[in-house]
Amino acid sequence: MLGYIKKRYFKNAKNSQLKKGHVTIIMPAYNAEPYIAESIESVIGQSIEDWKLIILDDGSTDRTVEIAKSYSKGHKSIELLQKGKQQGPATQRNLGISKADTEFLAFLDSDDLMSPQSLELRVKILEEDRSACASFSYVRLIDPNGSPMGLNGTKENIVNFTDLVENKFITSCICARTSILQKLGGFDNSFKFGEDWDLWLRMTRLGFYIKAAPDSFIDYRQHADSFSHKFIYEDFCDRMRVSDLAWQEDERVPSPLSHFENGLGPACQSMTSSKKAFLACISALFDDKTKDAENLLSLVSFDLLELTDPIQLAEMTKWTVARNISVPLEKWDKIKSSKAHNLESFFEERPNENSTPYITKYLGYLTN
């Protein structure tokens, strides 16, 4: 069913006028004079050319506009917009989302930087994987002078709705499908803080995941003038509001995946139960208990399993199997080689239109 929904969604999306394969970068800016030129240069230096940069000034009083204008005059792919004063980054980003006419849309704050292949690698993920509503770069912290402070951010490969019980991303590391952003109405500007986390939750509640582009990086600048650094208490309170919404029904999300309709509590329970049933099914097969495996497989929700990382699930399987059949983990290679054909035969005899590609990936990671 999930596969059918996604095929229908993307079939409808193709009817839009969005430029296929192209990406718009949204850059809100306010008094960014010390950093904005370097941020723009990191976009100009990308390894692909099918991009458009929209800079949205929020009423700067320094040389931000002057610098942005000089770039927009010299580059046909760079546009400067001045709409209002001190409206906040969420409102400015939403203006950019509404103007975007490209298939993909990325965000970059005016003090952050993209690695040279950042856009290319994130766009490639979205072109190859329909289950991904967005792709993300890993994040590297830098100080005001651009010096490295150490790696930050998630190292997971796939992040779904239930994983987002914690906020895992900064806005600058995300590249998303424009059609989904526009469908959801962009950022909820009733939040002064945490509006990005709120949007990622709403995107993944639709039944998609956010997928890593491991060799893509965003340099995330840390400095005392950062908005969230100035308002720590207000930042915390808004993020708690975002969390509260995530644990209940959300009328802002049209047609969520049924497992996610009632928020993170039931969603986490369903996800956990489905993964446990699948791991128990595999353990039963390793123990030659085919009937038990069949019963356990009937308890697996493949539309949820497909939203998990098959590599991570394969790693979890090793520990589960070793524990259940009481063998030391160092004997894993011998165990898996003796059971590989049985596992493949079991799933070949029980084809499932939606699960077959996922099972193939999973078994490949498990038995190789």
Q: What are the Cα distances from residue 82, in Å, to 69, 88, 330? A: 11, 13, 63
Distance CA 159, CA 180 (A): 17
Q: In the block, which residue shows the tokens 């199997």? A: 321
Q: In the block, which residue shows the tokens 């991904």? A: 132
Count how many Cα atoms sit within 13 Å of the Cα of residue 128 in the half-sphere of its side chain: 10
Closest of 187, 26, 2, 5 to residue 104, by C-alpha: 26
Distance CA 40, CA 49 (A): 14
Residues 6+ apart with CB under 8 A from 365: 310, 311, 314
Q: What is the pTM of this model?
A: 0.91
Q: What is the pLDDT along the chain (368 residues), one digit of tens a residue?
A: 455 445 545 544 544 689 999 999 999 999 999 999 999 999 999 999 999 999 999 999 999 999 999 999 999 999 999 987 778 889 999 999 999 999 999 999 999 999 999 999 999 999 999 999 999 999 999 988 889 898 787 889 999 999 999 999 999 999 999 999 999 999 999 998 999 999 999 999 999 999 999 999 999 998 766 655 678 889 899 999 999 999 999 999 999 999 999 999 999 999 999 999 999 999 999 999 999 999 999 999 999 999 999 999 999 998 888 887 777 778 888 888 888 888 999 999 888 766 789 999 999 999 88
Rounded to the nearest 10 degrees, the angle between the axes of helix 310-324 and helix 264-286 is 50
DSSP structure string for 148-163? EEEEES---SEE-TGG
